[in-house]
Structure 1
Amino acid sequence: MTSQADPDTLLLDLFDAALKAADPLACVPPCLPEKPAGRTVLVGAGKASALMAQAIERAWDGPLDGLVVTRYGHAVPCERVEIVEASHPVPDAVGEAAARRILALAEELGPDDLLLCAISGGGSALLSLPAPGLTLDDKQAVNRALLRCGARIGEMNCVRKHLSAIKGGRLAAAAAPAAVHSILISDVPGDDPSIIASGPTVPDATSFADALKIVRGYGIDLPKAVRDHLEAGAEETPKPDDPLFEKVETVLAAAPLLSLRAAGEVARAAGVTPIILGDALEGESREVARVMAGIAQSVKRHGLPAAPPAVLLSGGETTVTIRGEGRGGPNAEFALALAVALDGAADIHAIACDTDGVDGAEEVAGALVGPDTLARAKDAGIDAEAALASNDAHGFFEALDRQIKPGPTLTNVNDFRAILIR
């Protein structure tokens, strides 16, 4: 393929390369530990966890059993490990029951045993076991509020950890004195293991006071039981100096930067200069899009930071503060805001997708943008700026048939954005 290839085809090839770099079947087996003298129990949570469990089953030649919870529609067949599907991004009773069973499995283990954990993005909502005194309804209400207010993933997971009986290192605490080996696929800016799925096996440096500061900063109206629980601060999460983590190992199997680099190699092979802007970009989708539009126009007009043909690659997790009646979706909103900012600029094409195949709560990964996006919308009687104002990017791209729908990708290294300048 060359830089003269169809822009949509090249952009989709870049997205595919990013996904392949985070394929659990390839990246998980090299992360496996030595077999223990006793039992090995595999547990996990996240959108990639079922395929991670399948990869582990295929590579593990000793006894193995356990339980993994993934999102509805993300299960794959496993022979020795039970796979349960539950709700994401708002937790449900199935996820709560699975989390309770996973905690019980950990508590059964002895000093010669191994708790093997397959953890990926989405695990926070799927591994939803309320702290004593709280209910699933409480956690659902807080989750919905956090999703709507535009909180960053680290902020969301700080709050979640302090409302949980299993996250924030508590799963590792339950497994002691057994060894714990966690294999992670990162979906968070910076790849902090304590943030991925709210760190069920990782020590936590945050506090109840931090969680309270976050919810107050966003003006979230908490259920009384949640407010009382956070204000009481009765039982902090296990901290980094806790001796229970002496037998805990954590390995990162896949991460956003690895996927961006893989996409960059495909671009280079096509005669396009890759410019990786970062794997940890955060902020409001529409604001990040305006900045990206400016960089793309600099490439086109001035050849800076590189001359065309070039592609701007970035990852991380942008957010949407829902103010309108639309369906949100940070990647779709980024794409729409980018189209508006570029205003039909020639020779600039883009893709913005969530690598798990789900943008926000929609069964859509994201969208494609080209110089003709706004003209096509106008011809169809669609007001792009009105759609952006009402957070209806999914509706906008659905009407133009420019959505990307790969279905569950069974991995998750967060947002993938590529802006091609020819």
Structure 2
Amino acid sequence: MKRTFEDLEPSRVMGNAIGDLDVSRYSRIFVMGFGKASYEMSEGIRDHVRKKLAYAGIIVPVDQDVSGFPELEILRGTHPYTSSLSVSSSRTLLSKVKPGPNDAVIVLISGGGSSLFEIPEEGITIDQISEISKKMMQASADIYELNTIRSCLSSVKGGKLAKLLYPASVFAYIISDVPGDDVSIIASGPLSENKLDPVAVYERFRNVIGVDIERFLKTAQIEDEYFRKVQTRIVLSNRDFVRRIESYVGEPIVSIGSGISGDVEDVSDGIIDIVRSVSRIKGRSFWIVMGGETTVNVRGNGIGGRNLELSLLFMKKCNFSDFLFISMGTDGIDGVSPAAGGIVDASTKARISSEEIDQALKNNDSYTLLSKYGSAIMTGRTGNNVSDIVVAYVSI
């Protein structure tokens, strides 16, 4: 399968995308990046920008293994919850990026940027932001809801980075981990104002958040002038991977697209309904492929993630005699587990008791159970992040 996805690696994608930028027009080039794919993205552009490069720095997860380049400063942050380390690295990054009106700033953005690149607004602490994020995630907040609140609490999100980089020309290259590829939500939209109503989101999660943050929700609108020299471009998304899988699996295949979202319990029900309907219509074995990002309502204190839990739920509910189901995060890390996701089939279901499955789901301990039976997918961090991929095969 290596040949299948090589050209979707961030370094290759960026190598192609950066060719459209005429760096000779600018006095100096600054590169700043944050996210799980920012290292690979920077690798893809280094030859193109090196002659005009004034500074290059990125923020990656503290546990991501990167070797670095002589001209690249590698800073560290924490994910999925932000911390003082992320703040310190973000301040360092901004202190080095001081462009003028004749300079260009290349901003490399990918999933994980919300927690890795962060400086709180005055009046709220980084620990409070981290705790609010944690509580919202555990309450099944989707990425739109979560990042809407994050952008209000941050001094560098919700378009505020655009104001800090003005009057330079800014070129943002984005790898999307958000269903719908909304640039105002990816990494909490550092270069784009949030389009959702933060007050409505806060009202939904007010009791969960437990802290009065209303004063941060009505921030003044950023003037259009600060966005005049900002260009954003999605260079890679979940849709690209779904389409590639479609082309290699071949017929018969049912593609659900890249928009799956919602609680894993509901999503698993929806997938099962689709499988049953398609089986009746086709009357033959078939593949299903889809992508997106689900959420988990955390009730226990086990080790798991949304992909592992979705795999367990599908296996529990599927009554076909022969099936295969794979759900995995393209970043290689699923939730609080070390796994990328889960892979289960009919033989797995035959070996695991219903009691074990129910107990694992109750405690959100899907990784512990699936790893016990060799059904946890272990890749380590991939250096990419375009949300989750689900592939299933049902034999009729």
Question: Scaled by the length of structure 1, what TM-score is found?
Answer: 0.87
Paired positions, count: 390
The one-letter code sitting in structure 2 at the alignment partner of 1:267 is V
Among 23, 41, 60, which residue is 2:9 paired with?
23
1:285 and 2:275 equivalent? Answer: no
1:327 and 2:316 equivalent? Answer: no
Task: Give the distance between the partners of 2:309 and 2:384, measured in 1 at CA.
Answer: 22
User: Contact between 1:112 and 1:179, CA under 8 Å: does it hold in 2?
Assistant: yes
Aligned equivalent of 1:220: 208
Q: Which moved more, 1:256-265 or 1:390-399?
A: 390-399
Task: Give the distance between the partners of 2:198 and 2:269, measured in 1 at CA.
Answer: 35
Q: Give 1:349 shift.
A: 0.6
Counterpart secondary structure, 2:63: coil
Q: Give 1:221 shift.
A: 3.5
Unaligned runs of 5+ in 2: none
Among 353, 359, 367, which residue is 1:386 paired with?
359
Aligned equivalent of 1:87: 78
Q: Give 1:61 shift.
A: 4.3
Counterpart secondary structure, 2:108: strand
Task: Give the distance between the partners of 1:91 and 1:319, measured in 2 at CA.
Answer: 19
1:316 and 2:295 equivalent? Answer: no
Task: Give the distance between the partners of 1:88 and 1:146, measured in 2 at CA.
Answer: 15
User: Contact between 1:162 and 1:237, CA under 8 Å: does it hold in 2?
Assistant: no
Counterpart secondary structure, 2:315: helix
1:130-279 counterparts in 2 under 5 A? Answer: 130-216=120-206, 219-224=207-212, 227=213, 229-230=215-216, 233=218, 235-236=219-220, 238=222, 242-268=224-250, 272-279=251-258
Task: Give the distance between the partners of 2:204 and 2:41, measured in 1 at CA.
Answer: 32
1:413 and 2:395 equivalent? Answer: no
User: Contact between 1:21 and 1:259, CA under 8 Å: does it hold in 2?
Assistant: no
Q: Which moved more, 1:147-156 or 1:80-89?
A: 80-89
- Ranked by relative contact order (alpha carbons within 8 Å, sequence separation 6 or more), the top structure is 1
* Residues 237/101 of structure 1: CA separation in 2 closer, same or farther (3 Å cut): farther
Percentage identity across aligned positions? 29
Aligned equivalent of 2:346: 371
User: Contact between 1:320 and 1:328, CA under 8 Å: does it hold in 2?
Assistant: no
- CA deviations over 1:185-220 (Å, ceiling 9, x no partner): 00001000111101111233245524533432xx22
Q: Give 1:334 shift.
A: 0.5
* Residues 22/168 of structure 1: CA separation in 2 closer, same or farther (3 Å cut): farther
Counterpart secondary structure, 2:228: helix
The one-letter code sitting in structure 1 at the alignment partner of 2:170 is V
User: Contact between 1:22 and 1:255, CA under 8 Å: does it hold in 2?
Assistant: no
User: Contact between 1:286 and 1:338, CA under 8 Å: does it hold in 2?
Assistant: no
Counterpart secondary structure, 1:62: helix
Q: Give 1:31 shift.
A: 2.0
Counterpart secondary structure, 1:78: coil
Task: Give the distance between the partners of 1:357 and 1:19, measured in 2 at CA.
Answer: 15
Among 16, 31, 45, which residue is 1:56 paired with?
45
Counterpart secondary structure, 2:52: coil
* Residues 209/103 of structure 1: CA separation in 2 closer, same or farther (3 Å cut): farther
Q: Which moved more, 1:283-292 or 1:151-160?
A: 283-292
Task: Give the distance between the partners of 2:357 and 2:299, measured in 1 at CA.
Answer: 16
* Residues 334/354 of structure 1: CA separation in 2 closer, same or farther (3 Å cut): same
Among 331, 334, 353, which residue is 2:328 paired with?
353
- CA deviations over 1:257-279 (Å, ceiling 9, x no partner): 111011111102xxx42321020
Aligned equivalent of 1:395: 368
1:66-81 counterparts in 2 under 5 A? Answer: 66-76=56-66, 77-81=68-72
Task: Give the distance between the partners of 1:210 and 1:174, measured in 2 at CA.
Answer: 28
Among 27, 33, 49, which residue is 1:44 paired with?
33
Counterpart secondary structure, 1:102: helix
Question: Scaled by the length of structure 2, what TM-score is found?
Answer: 0.93
Q: Give 1:49 shift.
A: 0.8
Q: Which moved more, 1:73-82 or 1:353-362?
A: 73-82
Unaligned runs of 5+ in 1: 1-12
Task: Give the distance between the partners of 1:243 and 1:23, measured in 2 at CA.
Answer: 35
RMSD: 2.0
The one-letter code sitting in structure 1 at the alignment partner of 2:237 is A
1:336 and 2:312 equivalent? Answer: yes
1:121 and 2:107 equivalent? Answer: no
Q: Which moved more, 1:115-124 or 1:394-403?
A: 394-403
Task: Give the distance between the partners of 1:236 and 1:335, measured in 2 at CA.
Answer: 44
